[in-house]
């Protein structure tokens, strides 16, 4: 019980410390290092940052983000306006292919189209995440590539071996089935976890990344 309370209180303290998060309507629950965030935040970036703040806390092994974005009335944008804003942001970002498009519905932005790399999907999400009026992002972007699964596995493994955040004796295992990469094993921190996931998405031919990593904390 003591450790459970310590982790919960540490997450609450981190949320309070983070200037990018208004934690007034956030509640935290912890069960053996698995942290659940419940309540509301006033913007989508705060939704993302709250989870990132919880992940920074020692002992947290998984974060379940159940927060709801409740926009202040002045930040509401109707569907046509937000759709135009999102597509303008995608067009202005040189990292996002021209094939990617956005459609907004009640603050929920759906992205569609085709990219060659997972980084293209990430760039598209980032381009619209900070727009006023966004409550959630649904990423339906496809990744088109004919890379061989064996080459995908090798490329991801070599990227992990080069990464300074991942120790040489790491037991992270890379396995590609088709063009889906599965990562399993143990990592010490969320920074190491995110480095492994990012490396997998950067490889050519990766359509999806299955995260089976366990953060030891």
**Domains of the chain with CATH codes:** 2-69 (3.30.1340.30), 74-143 (3.30.1340), 149-215 (3.30.1340.30)
26 strand-pairing partners: 39
In the prediction, which pLDDT does 170 show? 83
For the stretch 189-216, what's the b/e string if a residue is b when 16 or more beta carbons lie within 10 angstroms of its beta carbon?
bbebbebbbbbbbebebbbebeeebebe
Helix (H, G, I), strand (E, B) or coil at 143: strand
- Distances 61 to 47, 48, 54, 96, 114 between C-alpha atoms, Å: 19, 17, 10, 32, 33
With 60 as the cut, is the pLDDT of residue 81 above it? yes
With 80 as the cut, is the pLDDT of residue 5 above it? no
With 60 as the cut, is the pLDDT of residue 1 above it? no
> How many alpha carbons fall within 13 Å on the CB side of residue 127?
28
Helix (H, G, I), strand (E, B) or coil at 116: coil
Instruction: Express as a percent the part of the chain with pLDDT over 70.
Output: 97
In the prediction, which pLDDT does 4 show? 63
CA–CA gap between residue 129 and residue 111 (Å, rounded): 11
Mean of the per-residue pLDDT values of the chain: 91
CA–CA gap between residue 205 and residue 207 (Å, rounded): 6
Of 209 and 86, more confident: 86
């Amino acid at each position: 019980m003591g450790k459970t309370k310590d982790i919960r209180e540490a997450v609450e303290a981190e949320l309070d410390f983070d200037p990018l998060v208004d934690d007034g309507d956030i509640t935290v629950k912890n069960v053996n290092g698995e942290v659940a965030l419940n309540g509301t935040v006033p913007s989508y970036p705060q939704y993302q940052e709250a989870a990132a703040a919880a992940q920074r806390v020692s002992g947290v092994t998984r974060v379940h983000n159940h927060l709801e974005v409740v926009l202040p009335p002045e930040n509401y944008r109707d569907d046509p306006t937000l759709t135009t804003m999102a597509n303008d942001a995608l067009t202005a970002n040189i990292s996002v292919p021209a094939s990617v498009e956005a459609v907004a519905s009640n603050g929920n932005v759906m992205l569609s189209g085709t990219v060659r790399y997972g980084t293209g999907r990430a760039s598209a999400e980032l381009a619209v995440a900070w727009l006023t009026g966004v409550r959630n992002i649904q990423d339906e972007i496809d990744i088109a590539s004919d890379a061989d699964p064996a080459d995908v596995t090798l490329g991801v493994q070599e990227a992990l071996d080069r990464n300074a955040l991942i120790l040489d004796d790491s037991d992270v295992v890379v396995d590609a089935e088709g063009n889906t990469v599965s990562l399993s094993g143990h990592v010490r921190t969320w920074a190491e976890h995110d480095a492994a996931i990012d490396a997998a998405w950067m490889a050519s031919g990766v359509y999806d990344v299955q995260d089976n990593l366990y953060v030891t904390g």
